[in-house]
Amino acid sequence: MTRPLGVAVIGAGYWGPNLVRNFSASPLTELVWVCDVSTERAEATARAWGGGTAGVTASVDDVLADPRVDAVAIATPASTHAAIGLSALDAGKHVLIEKPLAPSSEEAEKLVVAARDNDLVLMCDHTYCYSPAVQHIREWVHDGVVGQVRYFDSTRINLGLVQSDIDVFWDLGPHDLSILDFVLPPGAGPVGVAAHAADPLGVGHPCVGFLSMPLAGGGIAHINLNWLSPTKIRRTIIGGSEKMLVWDDLEPAYRLRMFDKGVDMSESELEGEDRRELLVSYRTGDMVAPALPEVEALSQVVAEFASAVRERRRPATDGEAGLRVVRILEAAQRSLDAGGVVVSL
């Protein structure tokens, strides 16, 4: 493919306009349609962010029947992701789906299988994975700079928006779970999950939640999710055997910092005794704060999607990555139902 990728955005609610804006701005793509159940909302989005050249429709069938459309980006409610995605794949369209990939692992698996059977690209929009900070973290972890990951501690809290159709795990959790999946090397991810939550507002599902996940390498991941915090915090700390990282997405001056700090255990043989004593030593070194380019992560999502289609390859956050996140979310629900016990993945 040498021409720009013809794309239709389905869903013009909260996230759809951001997709419309980035697909319109990218030289790799051409926005063909904006589709929404409200044509008024679709028209307003196309007019404001689509450059005024995209068609507007309330019919997904119109989009899928158009030969100019090579791919669709789905930003509809999560409950509709699988149905629309499967229809698009059956119509021969490449698919980008907003997180979560699907509301169940069974539906997510169907999407993965359909994309594979039709030789099409299926990508999950795990936007944070394409931010410069997370790209740096992945590189440092995969290159061994951080050493063995001992813990991953993430906090994603703010006041609202309380969702009526999904709980705090399914709303905020995919962000941190996708980052965890992205930065850890293959085979080093979670092997189980324990979930604890509360519904202090009485909305019928958790508004505050905590996930604890033992990692394959012996470490642990912990994620704090909250719709009811008076302050907004977006912070991740990763402790490795060699280096420690702090990523604060709301700190413009030092968004990402790497510390040459750590705790080491050394063995020393005691005189005259047949045993060894573990000695604790603390390491304190320099702090490095890399210069991060001011690049919108979603523009990199669009570029990766278009490049994956053009090169006929799997994108960095493919359907399998989306499926892994959904499986953890399902396991978290099973843990909640069982009183917070660790559920194997």
Indicate if the pLDDT at residue 97 is higher than 90. yes
Concatenated DSSP letters for 236-271? EEEEESS-EEEEETT-SS-SEEEEEEEEEEEEEEPT
Confidence of residue 133 (pLDDT cuts 50, 70, 90): very high
Report the alpha-carbon distance of residue 136 to residue 157 in Å, rounded.
23
In the chain, the domains with their CATH numbers are 5-126+303-317 (3.40.50.720), 129-296+327-344 (3.30.360.10)
Share of the chain above pLDDT 70, in %: 96
Report the alpha-carbon distance of residue 213 to residue 67 in Å, rounded.
45
Could you give the C-alpha distances from 242 to 96, 140, 169, 284, in angstroms and in order?
Answer: 37, 11, 31, 11
pLDDT of residue 52: 78
Report the alpha-carbon distance of residue 136 to residue 296 in Å, rounded.
15
Could you give the C-alpha distances from 343 to 49, 128, 214, 332, 334, in angstroms and in order?
Answer: 44, 26, 10, 8, 7
Higher pLDDT, 49 or 83: 83
Q: Residues 277-289: pLDDT tens digits? A: 567 777 788 899 9
- Whether pTM exceeds 0.85: yes
Q: Residues 235-290: pLDDT tens digits? A: 999 999 999 999 999 998 889 999 998 787 776 555 554 445 567 777 788 899 99
Structure tokens that stand for 173 in this block = 């959790």
